Structure 1
Amino acid sequence: MNQYALLHTPDSRYCFATGKKELVIRLRTAKEDRDIRVFLVYGAKYEFQMKQNEIEMHVHYEDGLYQYYEKKLELEDVRLAYIFRIEENGKEYYYSEDGLTETYCFPEAFYNFFQMPYINPNDRLKTVDWMRKAVFYQIFIDRFRQGNLTKDTSYINMQWGDLPTPKSFAGGDIRGIIEKLDYLKELGINAVYLTPIFQSISNHKYDIRDYRKVDPQFGSLSDVKELVQKAHGMGIRIVMDAVFNHCSMEMEEFEDVLKNGKASPYYEWFLIDGDYPDPERMNYECFASCNYMPKLNTANAGVQEFLLKIAAYWIKEADIDGWRLDVSDEVSHDFWRRFRKEVKQLKKDCVIIGENWHDAYPYLMGDQYDSIMNYAFTKACLDYFARGKFDARQMAEKLNGNLMRNTEPVNDMMLNLLDSHDTHRFYTEIGKNKKRLLAAIALLVVFPGAACIYYGTEICMEGGYDPDSRRCFDWEESHWDRTVMQEIKKLLALKQKPVLQYGTVKIKEEEKMLFVERKYKKDRLILRINLTKETRQGIDPDGYQIMEEQGEMA
């Protein structure tokens, strides 16, 4: 047995509560140690020395290096003590805080057992339940649809449908989204993620001048309220984009610092090397290397209060259902902890989704975000469907490894996506292969968490990297592939099945195909994807198959 691969950490992604008296425990072992048996030895914390229960654990996930044993326990006493007993070739080992040993002294177990000292309700990350069945539609507002035909259009500098440039304005607005809510509902959408709506000089609005004002290009506060109200009436949630890492250099507070330097009451709101910020020398911290987007000092109490009031304002004023947090991994942990308390106090089921492109576990421990935009899933899909870097086994291992980064409640709230305004269009990346597009959407729907469709995917929109990924939606229906759209509708509708909201997941390779199984109560759903060059189990190359079983499990 490879003892160096053994890993368990209490009160972490390896031991976490999923209910008031429900606990999940995981143990990592080496992938090559397939002949071992693992048992969880557990009991009430204050009785463990004298009385223990034992139950066998089984492998639930397997990545490129490790196996992950998992067991969900229903507890009577939420103060739990436990260790692991491992059998290999007729020999017995124990794994505790002392590591791997050949014997274990239960009378002195209080020195070295693992423990969940107590499941405190306010420490447990509670799943925002609507996220389990959420099918998001991300809208880059300027390019979706123009609904207000009487507004000032002098800012528009491109014809609808022309290829965009970084400074193109096409005229899309909130009214255009309101007028297409029926279309989104019919598609199977029940949540909309909007890129920023606030006043800004850019088409993307990620350099915000005024966080309380809707940009006139997009509409007004009354338009936002109408959008949310009508969406809610149709069972559609609205999530907005919070750009709290940086702002526009035209924001009033930064302009005051430009004018008054250290004498400005807002000087400490920014991170400046010198008495005055100098855009030419760029002696202040910015988003990336954009001098027009100065970075906010989110460790500053004044900045925190300012941003918390903005977050609260839009929940109170417009009744939005969540915040997507732009560049969230560069913002203070302390601020996000305050942000969570403020938001959840106002609206318990308001979802908080970070934009972290990498392993975000430090932010996903229950005190900051609910989940993140799952770009690790995006990259895996590109490597599997577009680039041929993964075969089915490697894809299964990658997806399992991604799931093991986080706890079950977080995985159930992940915003899984194939592409976004910050990536190449997935359809273009897969060589405009419609069969592969449908197979990827099938995986998106069956995988744990929320599914997110980037606007236009359903009509096979093409595009390269930004700004090409931000093309105008083609509303000429004669250009649409109705067959593909109908298949996408059928796939998105599956997300409303309880088995895909609450079911356990098993991902593996089977006959060189990707196999994903979800089980819940007496129901089972299986997805098979065949990216080989030959038909397998009746599934054509680049095709997929979904099988549903109801009733008693075999």
Structure 2
Amino acid sequence: MECSWVFHNSYDAYFRAPFGAVPCRTKITLRLEIEDPLFSGSAAVRVRRQGAGTEHINMDLYQDREERKVFQAEIAAPEDPGWLWYYFVIEKEGMVFYYGNNGEKLGGQGELWMGSYPPEYQITVYREGPPPPQWFREGIIYQIFADRFFAGSGGQALHMKKGCFIHDRWEDTPVYFQHPYTGAYIFDFFGGNLEGVKEKLPYLKEMGVSIIYFNPIFQSPSNHKYDTGDYHQIDPMLGTNEIFQDLCQRAREMGIQIILDGVFSHTGSDSIYFNKEGNYPDLGAYQSQESPYYPWYRFEEFPRKYDCWWGIETLPNVNEMEPSYREFIIDGPDSVLRYWIKQGAKGWRLDVADELPDEFIAGFRKVMKETDPAAVLIGEVWEDASNKVSYGNWRQYLLGDELDSVMNYPFRNILIHFVLGLKDGWKTHQALMSLSENYPRYHFYTTMNLLGSHDVARILTVLGEAPLESSLPKPEQAMFRLAPEQKELAVRRLKLLCLWQMTFPGVPAVYYGDEAGMEGYDDPLNRGTYPWGKENMELVDWYQRVICLRNRYQVLRTGAWFPVYAQGDVYGYVRKITNHRDLFHEQAKNGTALILLNRNPREKVSVPVHVGRWCPQEMKDLLAEKEVGFHGEWEEICLGPLEGKLYVKEEDHETEQG
């Protein structure tokens, strides 16, 4: 409904203060503006606490001018973490109007509704605590699928597995196929291992990487290893526990920390614990109800019918709240969690966090922090993690007791939609502001900002506008490569998104080989081998250059974020550190960075920027490597096709003190 006479904007601190998510017990001011000189009705706000009742609060007249009336109410966040939801009720000339969130539920400017209750605005209420450690929040993550990264130990495959095959050529295409008689999957391997990662540590260091996130590396029958066979052993094809310890030590000496992938919602059927295939000497749950592991699983008809992950019989689900399972994974003196932290890991990424109970995640984090206060816990969550509902439960990931960070798939989607022309600058602004508004501040500034992963098509394939995966049979998907003109366009787009990723709040994450120009549709084609010696050096050099800039300038890592332009083909923002304190209240150089991005592949654009408000008079254009001057209140800045600009000014200590 047309709502020109009623206005509320949750992004604007005048209408809602403080902005965004709030700590428990915070006082919140809400304002509603009515532009009607003859208005003589009333305004109220209805506030609902998640899981509790709704309160109807009459609003007071805060400001009365000839053409405008502003109504105000104060509410208090509860003592415990959770969610508040609100909308406004306006009574005018005997009629009742509702003003609530917009139809896309992105926050910001709302909409007027009549005859039905509107979508509500969200306020996330969290338990305040310290931010994630500095090594993480200022880091660069590099995700490695170990079998496909580099084959160390002279390139010889280690400890061949039963029922698998090894590719003769590193350049082969990954493939899944089933045994013609049994129907069982036969997994292919390439021979990458932890020794190979050790040998390539100098490459990662040169690129500016400070964190390695491994896909699962524990013993299992598969190449992906999401079907764990033994949580306490490195898979023999990848190395040994001792090799892992040495890798952690060498990486740490080079300023690189290691995060492991924890798969705790299910095990493999071919495991010590379930032992369906009888490959382990221990008595597994499938073999006997007397097995110590039997209580971990849910059998409907023992032994053949049991609960399994998404119906996949090789992935039997576990009961995470079973005391003996929690003791084994979390609480015991030699628990999986404690063991690997002691071996040198600095944190965990929880696979399919939606499948894990909140109590399990909270317990995991508590013990992890007791073992190493500087360790981090990341969750695999595909949507806005602040309001995720799974299996009918509102998930408490970001409320203060669970995750330090989440995989930021919404960020990936937002950037792709913008650069491919599916959403304009304003819609992009709304989507990013929605995350900023819903996430606690420290979470927004430490999300794992990814463009690629093992679960999505390679970013270069997406940016080259490859045919839809569903339109091609599997053999054609495996053979598909971007045409030269498609690849050129994709590379230009990826360079633009890399600049965005490395200058935006959060912890950038690079999926191995994306920086080298790897292509491929979804699993298994997104899990090819790193093309050593055949990299796209234009991309490799660009990634190294932009990561180096992020690592050099504090303002790009921990400066506050302010959108400054969001129209059509252009998106722009500023990062700022003022008063010698960064976003995390740490001492830092004052600094300003201005980032402008033009997605148009053919046309240059001229962008008016309010430099008088945001920028010092002298800045450096880091990509053009030249000084620039901004001497007016507004400056027209020209961007070429698919060009990004990065201007930075950091004060030196002498300037700050003088």
Q: TM-score range by the shorter chain?
A: 0.7 to 0.9
Aligned counterpart, 1:183: 203
Q: Distance in 1 between matches of 2:259 and 2:197?
A: 14
Aligned counterpart, 2:337: 311
Answer whether contact 2:555 2:592 (CA < 8 A) is retained: yes
Q: Distance in 2 between matches of 1:516 and 1:34?
A: 29
Aligned counterpart, 2:429: 396
Aligned counterpart, 1:457: 514
2:642 is aligned, of 537, 542, 548, to 542
Letter in 2 for 1:384: F
Aligned counterpart, 1:21: none
Aligned counterpart, 1:411: 444
Q: Distance in 2 between matches of 1:183 and 1:161?
A: 20
Answer whether contact 1:134 1:495 (CA < 8 A) is retained: no
Q: Distance in 2 between matches of 1:176 and 1:294?
A: 32
Change in CA separation of 1:418 and 1:34 when aligned onto 2, cut-off 3 Å = farther
Answer whether contact 1:427 1:462 (CA < 8 A) is retained: yes
Aligned counterpart, 1:143: 148
Task: State the superposition RMSD in angstroms.
Answer: 3.2
Q: Distance in 2 between matches of 1:33 and 1:195?
A: 53
Aligned counterpart, 2:499: 442
Q: Confirm or deny that 1:57 pairs with 2:13.
A: yes
Shift of 1:196: 0.9
Shift of 1:322: 0.8
Aligned counterpart, 1:51: none
Shift of 1:57: 2.8
Letter in 2 for 1:517: V
Answer whether contact 2:499 2:546 (CA < 8 A) is retained: yes
Q: Aligned to 2:189, what secondary structure does the other structure show?
A: coil
Aligned counterpart, 1:475: 532
Q: Distance in 1 between matches of 2:422 and 2:9?
A: 33
Shift of 1:544: 1.3
Greater mean deviation of Cα atoms: 531-540 or 211-220? 531-540
Aligned counterpart, 2:285: 257
Greater mean deviation of Cα atoms: 306-315 or 389-398? 389-398
Answer whether contact 1:58 1:71 (CA < 8 A) is retained: no
Answer whether contact 2:142 2:510 (CA < 8 A) is retained: yes
Aligned counterpart, 2:213: 193
Answer whether contact 1:94 1:104 (CA < 8 A) is retained: no
Q: Distance in 1 between matches of 2:497 and 2:509?
A: 12
Letter in 2 for 1:127: P
Unaligned segments of structure 1, at least 5 residues: 3-29, 40-55, 60-67, 106-110
Letter in 1 for 2:336: I
Q: Aligned to 1:356, what secondary structure does the other structure show?
A: coil
CA deviation map 1:334-384 (0-9, x unaligned): 111111110011111211001111232221111111111111112222322
Shift of 1:547: 1.5
Q: Confirm or deny that 1:241 pairs with 2:236.
A: no
Unaligned segments of structure 2, at least 5 residues: 48-54, 63-72, 82-125, 177-186, 276-283, 387-395, 465-486, 579-589, 607-637
Q: Distance in 2 between matches of 1:437 and 1:499?
A: 23
Aligned residues: 482
What percent of counterpart residues are identical? Answer: 29
Aligned counterpart, 2:172: 162
Q: Distance in 2 between matches of 1:151 and 1:483?
A: 32
Letter in 1 for 2:285: V
Shift of 1:523: 1.8
Greater mean deviation of Cα atoms: 528-537 or 452-461? 528-537
Q: Distance in 2 between matches of 1:36 and 1:271?
A: 50
Aligned counterpart, 1:517: 574
Shift of 1:412: 1.8
Question: What TM-score, normalized by structure 2, do the two folds share?
Answer: 0.68
Q: Distance in 2 between matches of 1:38 and 1:472?
A: 46
Q: Distance in 2 between matches of 1:84 and 1:96?
A: 11
Q: Confirm or deny that 1:285 pairs with 2:307.
A: yes
Change in CA separation of 1:112 and 1:519 when aligned onto 2, cut-off 3 Å = closer
Q: Aligned to 1:398, what secondary structure does the other structure show?
A: helix
1:114 is aligned, of 76, 93, 108, to 76
2:300 is aligned, of 259, 273, 281, to 273
Q: Confirm or deny that 1:363 pairs with 2:418.
A: no
Shift of 1:259: 1.6
Change in CA separation of 1:204 and 1:102 when aligned onto 2, cut-off 3 Å = closer
Aligned counterpart, 1:501: 557
CA deviation map 1:369-402 (0-9, x unaligned): 111111111222232234x311222222222222
Q: Distance in 1 between matches of 2:599 and 2:77?
A: 44
Greater mean deviation of Cα atoms: 80-89 or 132-141? 80-89
Q: Aligned to 1:259, what secondary structure does the other structure show?
A: coil
Answer whether contact 2:14 2:31 (CA < 8 A) is retained: no
Letter in 2 for 1:481: N
Q: Confirm or deny that 1:101 pairs with 2:53.
A: no
Answer whether contact 2:435 2:444 (CA < 8 A) is retained: no
Answer whether contact 2:21 2:441 (CA < 8 A) is retained: no
Question: What TM-score, normalized by structure 1, do the two folds share?
Answer: 0.80
Q: Confirm or deny that 1:466 pairs with 2:520.
A: no
CA deviation map 1:54-90 (0-9, x unaligned): xx9348xxxxxxxx76459999xx9764544555448
Q: Distance in 2 between matches of 1:95 and 1:506?
A: 29
Shift of 1:516: 2.2
- Higher relative CO (Cα under 8 Å, sequence separation at least 6) belongs to 1
Greater mean deviation of Cα atoms: 492-501 or 513-522? 492-501
Answer whether contact 2:21 2:437 (CA < 8 A) is retained: no
Shift of 1:200: 0.6
- The list of structure 1 runs, each at least 4 consecutive aligned residues, that deviate by more than 6 angstroms after superposition, is 32-39, 72-75, 90-94
Determine which structure has the larger helix proportion and give its number. Answer: 1
Q: Distance in 1 between matches of 2:136 and 2:556?
A: 12
Larger Rg: 2
Shift of 1:130: 2.4
Greater mean deviation of Cα atoms: 174-183 or 148-157? 148-157
Answer whether contact 1:82 1:114 (CA < 8 A) is retained: yes
Q: Aligned to 1:293, what secondary structure does the other structure show?
A: coil
Answer whether contact 2:424 2:567 (CA < 8 A) is retained: no
Q: Distance in 1 between matches of 2:21 and 2:450?
A: 32
Aligned counterpart, 1:530: 598
